[in-house]
Amino acid sequence: MSTEDPEALLDEARKWWTTSIVDIHPGEIAMRGYPIEQLIGRITFPEMIWLMLMGELPTRAKAQLLEAALVSSVDHGPQAPSIAIARMAATCGPGLNGAMASAINVLDDVHGGAGQQCMEIYYEVEAEAGADGDLAKAAATVVARRKEQGLKYFPGFGHRFHPLDPRAPRLLQLVSEAADRGETSGRFAVIGAAVEDALSQGRAKRIPMNIDGATAVVYCELGLPTELGRGVFILSRSVGILAHAWEQTQQGGRIKGPQAKFLNYTYDGPARRDLPEPDQRG
Amino acid sequence: MSTEDPEALLDEARKWWTTSIVDIHPGEIAMRGYPIEQLIGRITFPEMIWLMLMGELPTRAKAQLLEAALVSSVDHGPQAPSIAIARMAATCGPGLNGAMASAINVLDDVHGGAGQQCMEIYYEVEAEAGADGDLAKAAATVVARRKEQGLKYFPGFGHRFHPLDPRAPRLLQLVSEAADRGETSGRFAVIGAAVEDALSQGRAKRIPMNIDGATAVVYCELGLPTELGRGVFILSRSVGILAHAWEQTQQGGRIKGPQAKFLNYTYDGPARRDLPEPDQRG
Amino acid sequence: MSTEDPEALLDEARKWWTTSIVDIHPGEIAMRGYPIEQLIGRITFPEMIWLMLMGELPTRAKAQLLEAALVSSVDHGPQAPSIAIARMAATCGPGLNGAMASAINVLDDVHGGAGQQCMEIYYEVEAEAGADGDLAKAAATVVARRKEQGLKYFPGFGHRFHPLDPRAPRLLQLVSEAADRGETSGRFAVIGAAVEDALSQGRAKRIPMNIDGATAVVYCELGLPTELGRGVFILSRSVGILAHAWEQTQQGGRIKGPQAKFLNYTYDGPARRDLPEPDQRG
Amino acid sequence: MSTEDPEALLDEARKWWTTSIVDIHPGEIAMRGYPIEQLIGRITFPEMIWLMLMGELPTRAKAQLLEAALVSSVDHGPQAPSIAIARMAATCGPGLNGAMASAINVLDDVHGGAGQQCMEIYYEVEAEAGADGDLAKAAATVVARRKEQGLKYFPGFGHRFHPLDPRAPRLLQLVSEAADRGETSGRFAVIGAAVEDALSQGRAKRIPMNIDGATAVVYCELGLPTELGRGVFILSRSVGILAHAWEQTQQGGRIKGPQAKFLNYTYDGPARRDLPEPDQRG
Q: From CA B194, how far away is CA B186, in angstroms rounded?
A: 13
pLDDT at B240: 98
Strands A266-267 and A34-35, by their bridges, are unpaired
Test the A interface: residue of D85, D153, D264 with most A CBs within 10 Å:
D85
Residue C3 binned pLDDT confidence (cut-offs 50, 70, 90) = low
User: Do D99 and D132 reside in the same domain of the chain?
Assistant: yes
Q: From CA D118, how far away is CA A166, in angstroms rounded?
A: 52
Residue ranges of chain A with per-residue pLDDT less than 70: 1-3
B161-208 confidence digits (pLDDT tens): 888 999 999 999 999 999 999 999 999 999 999 999 999 999 999 999
User: Do B131 and B224 reside in the same domain of the chain?
Assistant: yes
- Mapping DSSP onto H, E and C, the string for D84-153 reads HHHHHHCCCCCCHHHHHHHHHCCCCHHHHCHHHHHHHHHHHHHHHHCCCCCHHHHHHHHHHHHHHCCCCC
User: Do C37 and C94 reside in the same domain of the chain?
Assistant: no
Whether C108 maps to a domain, the answer reads yes
Q: Domain residues for C32?
A: 20-58
Q: From CA C107, how far away is CA C230, in angstroms rounded?
A: 8
* Cross-chain Cβ contact C227/D240 below 8 Å: no
Whether D84 maps to a domain, the answer reads yes
> How far is residue B50 from each of residues A71, B122, B176, B221, D258, measured CA to CA in Å?
11, 21, 21, 14, 27
Q: From CA D45, how far away is CA D63, in angstroms rounded?
A: 9
Q: From CA A244, how far away is CA A91, in angstroms rounded?
A: 12
Whether B1 maps to a domain, the answer reads no
* Cross-chain Cβ contact B93/C77 below 8 Å: no
Whether C217 maps to a domain, the answer reads yes
CB-based contact B12:A260 (threshold 8 Å): yes
Residue of D nearest to C39 (CA): D71
Whether D5 maps to a domain, the answer reads no
Whether A120 maps to a domain, the answer reads yes
CB contacts < 8 A (B, D): 150
pLDDT at D1: 47
CATH number at residue D110: 1.10.230.10
* Cross-chain Cβ contact D60/B273 below 8 Å: no
C230-275 confidence digits (pLDDT tens): 999 999 999 999 999 999 999 999 999 999 999 999 999 999 999 9
Residue of A nearest to D86 (CA): A85
Chains that touch C (3 or more CB pairs under 8 A): A, B, D
Residue D39 binned pLDDT confidence (cut-offs 50, 70, 90) = very high
Strands C34-35 and C28-31, by their bridges, are antiparallel
Choosing from C33, C58, C83, the residue where a domain stops is C58
Q: Looking at beta carbons, which residues of chain A come within 8 Å of D258?
A: 78-79, 81, 84, 88, 258-259
Q: SS3 of B232, please?
A: helix
Res D2 pLDDT > 80? no
* Cross-chain Cβ contact C272/A35 below 8 Å: yes
Test the B interface: residue of A11, A56, A104 with most B CBs within 10 Å:
A104
Quote the ipTM score.
Answer: 0.97
Chains that touch B (3 or more CB pairs under 8 A): A, C, D
User: Do C32 and C109 reside in the same domain of the chain?
Assistant: no
In this complex, the residue of C91, C258, C264 whose CB is nearest that of residue B110 is: C91
Q: Give the mean model confidence (pLDDT) for residues D233-262.
A: 97
Q: Which residues contact C133 (CB under 8 A, 6 or more apart)?
A: none
* Cross-chain Cβ contact A81/D88 below 8 Å: yes
User: Do A47 and A151 reside in the same domain of the chain?
Assistant: no
Q: Looking at beta carbons, which residues of chain D come within 8 Å of A264?
A: 79
Helices (H) and strands (E) in chain A, counts: 13, 5
Q: From CA B58, how far away is CA B47, in angstroms rounded?
A: 7
Whether B197 maps to a domain, the answer reads yes
Whether D7 maps to a domain, the answer reads no
User: Do A70 and A158 reside in the same domain of the chain?
Assistant: yes
In this complex, the residue of C81, C93, C257 whose CB is nearest that of residue B79 is: C257
In this complex, the residue of C84, C92, C153 whose CB is nearest that of residue B88 is: C84
C33-79 confidence digits (pLDDT tens): 999 999 999 999 999 999 999 999 999 999 999 999 999 999 999 99
* Cross-chain Cβ contact D89/A105 below 8 Å: yes
Res B1 pLDDT > 50? no
Q: Which residues contact B212 (CB under 8 A, 6 or more apart)?
A: B114, B115, B118, B155, B156
Q: Looking at beta carbons, which residues of chain D come within 8 Å of C95?
A: 108-109, 113, 227, 230
Q: What is the DSSP string of B22-65?
A: EEEETTEEEETTEEHHHHTTTS-HHHHHHHHHHSSPPPHHHHHH
How many other C-beta atoms are found inside a 10 Å radius of the C-beta of residue B261? 14
User: Do C240 and C101 reside in the same domain of the chain?
Assistant: yes
* Cross-chain Cβ contact A98/C102 below 8 Å: no
In this complex, the residue of C32, C42, C281 whose CB is nearest that of residue A269 is: C32
Q: At what angle do helices D45-54 and D226-251 cross, to 10 degrees?
A: 140
Q: Give the mean model confidence (pLDDT) for residues D17-40.
A: 97
How many other C-beta atoms are found inside a 10 Å radius of the C-beta of residue D202? 5
How far apart, in Å, do the first and last CA atoms of chain D sit?
52
User: Do A202 and A176 reside in the same domain of the chain?
Assistant: yes
Q: What is the DSSP string of C174-240?
A: HHHHHHHTTSS--HHHHHHHHHHHHHHTT-SS---B-HHHHHHHHHHHTT--HHHHHHHHHHHHHHH
Residue C1 binned pLDDT confidence (cut-offs 50, 70, 90) = very low
Test the C interface: residue of B4, B82, B96, B255 with most C CBs within 10 Å:
B255
What are the backbone dihedrals phi and psi of residue C31, each rounded to the nearest 5 degrees, phi first? -105, 120
pLDDT at C159: 85
User: Do B40 and B176 reside in the same domain of the chain?
Assistant: no
In this complex, the residue of C45, C98, C243 whose CB is nearest that of residue D52 is: C243
Q: Which residues contact B38 (CB under 8 A, 6 or more apart)?
A: D274, D275
* Cross-chain Cβ contact C265/B79 below 8 Å: yes
CB-based contact B237:B71 (threshold 8 Å): no
Average pLDDT of chain B to the nearest whole number: 96
Of A186, A182, A154, A157, which Cα lies nearest the Cα of A173?
Answer: A186
For chain B, where are the alpha helices, taking DSSP H only? Answer: 6-14, 36-39, 45-54, 60-72, 81-90, 96-104, 109-112, 114-129, 135-148, 167-180, 187-200, 211-221, 226-251
CB contacts < 8 A (A, D): 146
D155-207 confidence digits (pLDDT tens): 999 988 888 999 999 999 999 999 999 999 999 999 999 999 999 999 999 99
CB-based contact C179:C113 (threshold 8 Å): no
> Residue C202 — left, alpha, or beta (φ > 0 → left; ψ -120 to 50 → alpha)?
left
B217-261 confidence digits (pLDDT tens): 999 999 999 999 999 999 999 999 999 999 999 999 999 999 999
Q: From CA A165, how far away is CA A173, in angstroms rounded?
A: 14
User: Do A112 and A234 reside in the same domain of the chain?
Assistant: yes
Domain count, chain B: 2
User: Do C161 and C221 reside in the same domain of the chain?
Assistant: yes
* Cross-chain Cβ contact D88/A92 below 8 Å: no
Q: Looking at beta carbons, which residues of chain A come within 8 Å of D10?
A: 6, 9-10, 13
User: Do A101 and A135 reside in the same domain of the chain?
Assistant: yes
Res C183 pLDDT > 90? yes
Rounded to the nearest 10°, the torsion over CA C206, C211, C216, C218 is 110
Residue of A nearest to B94 (CA): A108
Question: Chain B: nearest CA to D139, how far in angstroms?
Answer: 29
pLDDT at B132: 78
Residue D30 binned pLDDT confidence (cut-offs 50, 70, 90) = very high
Choosing from C35, C58, C81, the residue where a domain stops is C58
